Structure 1
Amino acid sequence: MSELPDSRAPGWHTPVPEDHPASALLTVEAVRQRCAEVMAHVEAGRSPHFTWHAGRLGAAADLVIDTLRARYPDLRVPYHSRWRHFEAGGVDRWGALSRGAGFDVLERARVRIDLVIPSVLLDAGAGPDWRFLDAAHGITLARSEGLGVASFAMFAAGAFSSHPGEHPLRSDAAALAHLRAPVLADAFQVHAGNPLVGLDGRLALLRRLGEVAHATPIVFGAPARLGHLLDYLLLHARDGRIGAGFVLATLLRALGPVWPGRVALQGVSLGDCWHHPAATDTRVPFHKLTQWLTYSLLEPLEDAGLTVTGLDALTGLPEYRNGGLLLDLGLLQPREPSFLVEPQTVDAEAVVEWRAVTVIALDRIAAAVRERLGLDEAAFPLARVLEGGTWSAGRRIAAERRPGGPPPVRIVSDGTVF
């Protein structure tokens, strides 16, 4: 079990003592354990929703390697993170923004954290019809890249700072808590002909982020700024090392109250956690966006001189590209064809099961990829397999199977999960 932050200390919005029943669910270990229980249920043939076809695992690994070598022939694969989206179109937007800004090493890392936290929270699926025009570079982008570049431009313009004239490149609680709907809609170029799925949900999430950061000074300081997360993690590092599991557990406790009320346990919101009868207590945590954020913090933390250990404690991300790869390759097959036709809600048992299987399947695909490449986990952690990798292979096969490359499942999203 990863060491957990002491959220009994003063300065937490919602303290979660280690003996609270929610504490065990706010860890990466719980994600893998509960997902494994659901996977065993499917493999045993007890699922009314899916069948698992392990014989196709090798073909999945081969496709991932083929995709990986096409994108990174030298196998020097960066982490799977939000930073790749900021580079859409081959443009080094962060380099251009930070160059000459005069930041010292720690302030540069704080600014990167200020940028990436709201950007990740804005990263749930955009829908098939939304586009973002990056006029400065003459590029039109969609989906994750579009969301990433739009949020980057919003940050660069000082939209998340209470003092945009003096300190534009920061995200503070006061500005986030008072963000207005027209500002967000304008920044994301939303209009009748360019609809963005879940715009209201995204706005509520950012406002709530500001409120929760303000009420969590132990992590975000006072006045609260998202970049102060760096100082909290530096304080808890040992010999310049911090565990990935500790980073995730910190985020789950500090940002847990941000998520819309879904499954709660004795007053503590469990965030991206859903019910499935095959799991212990029927609860299956995924913490997808929070894990995505943890992956996206690796580069800023390393920038600050920290070594993040235990990367493979984190799981693969159960979203529609990784999950779509399983469905499109026939590793996972629906018992009812309607699953691929009818809109699905995020809390539907079949969707929860699909996501749980995705987590475990990604571990197995990663192991097969490493075996074929002759690499170990230290040389090629899951964060690189995902980037190289499964996410890209999922997008690739979706484009081959369906015009425009939509995922195989139609998810009804509120902009806070997928």
Structure 2
Amino acid sequence: MTLSENEDLAYLRSILSVRETCEKVYGKSLGKNNGKSKHFDVSTDKMSKVADYLLNIIERDYQNLADIPVHGRWQHLNCNGVDRMDNLIQKWTSEGHDSLEVCRRLIDLITFSVIVDAGAGSTWNYKEGETLIGRSEGLAIASFYMFQKGDLSKDKSQTVNGATLKSFDKADFDKGFQISAENSLQGYEGRIELIRSLGNSLLEKPELFGDDARPGNIIDYLFKLNNSNEIDLQQVWEALMTGYTSIWPKGRLTLHGQPLGDCWKYKTESGEIIVTFHKLTQWLCYSLLRPLEQFGYKFKISSKDLQTGLPEYRNGGLFYDLGVITLKEEFLNIGLENSQRYGYDPSIPTFEPDSAVIVEWRCLTIGLLDALLPSVNSKLGSKLQLSQLIEAGTWKAGREIAAELRPKTAGPPINLHSDGTVF
């Protein structure tokens, strides 16, 4: 079927496109006899080993499987056993803010925190008291304190405002993320530009974000769509894509002059295709489910299973470290040469985000997560959602196996030479 220009663009921005375009890459690899893969050797017979590894972690951490939350930024903001989020909510309630305003503020905080949550590298840390917190949780805590101090609003309130983000400069960034010569953050320039672009997006779309350009105002837009608190995940998704697609850096793929976001070209046997991941948008969508469903209008959201597993290095690293996927020697050698050129650990292969290796790795991650879910549920005798499997199992397991195998850095088995806006 020939699609019109608008339909083509709409499809590539849709949540439905993620599984469908990725399957064009991973389909053969996950078939019988392990299929074929361009860049990886795929051993699906080792998936049982992955399932057992996850089972040990899930049973260790959760006595009641019903307690497993949806994977989201909320848990990172509460890392190290400190319930920062509930403390904030109690403070706002005591100040007289109603449930709608609490929901707006939660969305303000979570949106900013997710947008700055690309890989931080293995050297940067945020210091909270005497505790050093690195990687995704460190970025979460940095964003939390910037929000709490009013650094993201025009009136020093605990909100987020587009005009403030639009004028965000290096001094603001260095202060908020504790940047120094000894504490450098991967993708420094890219992150600052992403924050400014987020501010522009908020200002440019008052129909979504209101005249005061707040992420949290999206709840009122969502309610008006159906004049009801019953909405479909695709409606949430379309609002996020409409609101935030323009924030991605120049140089990314565009179609008919419109940015596509986290989408990449990949050559198959039948020709070049565009593969869609939309990882940060998916991460944001997952992360907003809790405030949308528990506060304000208390939305009832259908079709949540349309979202995929997140194609990032913790989930993907788990499958690599447990031997389900292994780089073919030719591409391993290319990656090791890249590490020498970029100045990374020479024992870990490195690739850029648009590399066919990275695109395929991310596609395989999505396919393998879907294949893993029924296996784990069968062993547990349960019906975990995919988002719960990621939260209680794969993301956490990816981190733990990385720390076991690479204790000095706990980094991924494949490095991404990133601009701070991917993964």
Global fold match (TM > 0.5):
yes
Q: Tell me if structure 2 keeps the 8 A contact 1:197–1:415.
A: yes
Q: How does 1:292-311 map to 2 (within 5 A)?
A: 292-302=283-293, 303-304=295-296, 305-311=298-304
Counterpart amino acid of 2:411? P
Secondary structure (helix, strand or coil) at the match of 1:276 reads strand
Give 1:390's aligned residue. 394
Q: Tell me if structure 1 keeps the 8 A contact 2:26–2:37.
A: no
Q: Tell me if structure 2 keeps the 8 A contact 1:326–1:358.
A: yes
Check 1:152–1:19 CA distance in 2 against 1; reply closer, same or farther (3 A cut): same
Q: CA deviation at 1:239?
A: 4.5
Q: CA deviation at 1:20?
A: 3.9
Q: CA deviation at 1:222?
A: 1.2
Q: Tell me if structure 2 keeps the 8 A contact 1:112–1:227.
A: yes
Check 1:316–1:64 CA distance in 2 against 1; reply closer, same or farther (3 A cut): same
Specify which of 29, 36, 44 is matched with residue 54 of structure 1. Answer: 44
**1 CA distance for matches of 2:6 and 2:221?**
23
State yes or no: 1:287 paired with 2:294: no
Q: How does 1:126-137 map to 2 (within 5 A)?
A: 126-135=120-129
Q: CA deviation at 1:120?
A: 0.3
The unaligned stretches of length 5 or more in structure 2 are: 337-347
State yes or no: 1:370 paired with 2:360: no
**2 CA distance for matches of 1:194 and 1:42?**
40
Specify which of 323, 329, 334 is matched with residue 330 of structure 1. Answer: 323
State yes or no: 1:407 paired with 2:412: yes
Secondary structure (helix, strand or coil) at the match of 2:421 reads coil
Specify which of 119, 135, 140 is matched with residue 132 of structure 2. Answer: 140
Q: CA deviation at 1:328?
A: 0.5
Give 1:93's aligned residue. 84
**2 CA distance for matches of 1:247 and 1:285?**
18
Q: Which structure: greater helix fraction? A: 2
Give 1:8's aligned residue. none
State yes or no: 1:83 paired with 2:74: yes
Q: Tell me if structure 2 keeps the 8 A contact 1:35–1:356.
A: yes
State yes or no: 1:270 paired with 2:274: no
Q: Tell me if structure 2 keeps the 8 A contact 1:185–1:199.
A: no
Aligned residues: CA RMSD: 1.7
**2 CA distance for matches of 1:79 and 1:47?**
31
**2 CA distance for matches of 1:65 and 1:244?**
29
Secondary structure (helix, strand or coil) at the match of 1:162 reads coil
Secondary structure (helix, strand or coil) at the match of 1:80 reads coil
**2 CA distance for matches of 1:239 and 1:157?**
34
My pick for the range that moved more, 278-287 or 384-393, is 278-287
Q: CA deviation at 1:146?
A: 0.6
Give 1:320's aligned residue. 313
Identity of aligned residues (%): 39
Task: Give the TM-score of the pair, scaled to structure 1.
Answer: 0.91
**1 CA distance for matches of 2:79 and 2:50?**
26
Give 1:9's aligned residue. none
Q: CA deviation at 1:292?
A: 0.2
- Kindly provide the CA deviation profile for residues 189-242 of structure 1, in whole angstroms up to 9, marking residues without a partner as x: 110001111121111111111111111111111131111011111112464222
Specify which of 169, 172, 176 is matched with residue 165 of structure 2. Answer: 176
- Kindly provide the CA deviation profile for residues 316-374 of structure 1, in whole angstroms up to 9, marking residues without a partner as x: 00110000011001111211233463321000001100000101111111121112222
**1 CA distance for matches of 2:149 and 2:105?**
13
Give 2:422's aligned residue. 417
Counterpart amino acid of 2:73? R
Counterpart amino acid of 1:36? E
Give 2:116's aligned residue. 122
My pick for the range that moved more, 228-237 or 18-27, is 18-27
**2 CA distance for matches of 1:141 and 1:216?**
35
Specify which of 102, 107, 111 is matched with residue 113 of structure 1. Answer: 107
Task: Give the TM-score of the pair, scaled to structure 2.
Answer: 0.90
My pick for the range that moved more, 382-391 or 396-405, is 396-405
Secondary structure (helix, strand or coil) at the match of 1:312 reads helix
**1 CA distance for matches of 2:209 and 2:42?**
44
Give 2:56's aligned residue. 66
Secondary structure (helix, strand or coil) at the match of 2:27 reads helix
Aligned length: 394
Q: Tell me if structure 2 keeps the 8 A contact 1:174–1:210.
A: yes
Give 1:195's aligned residue. 184
The unaligned stretches of length 5 or more in structure 1 are: 1-16
**2 CA distance for matches of 1:357 and 1:222?**
42
Counterpart amino acid of 2:352? T
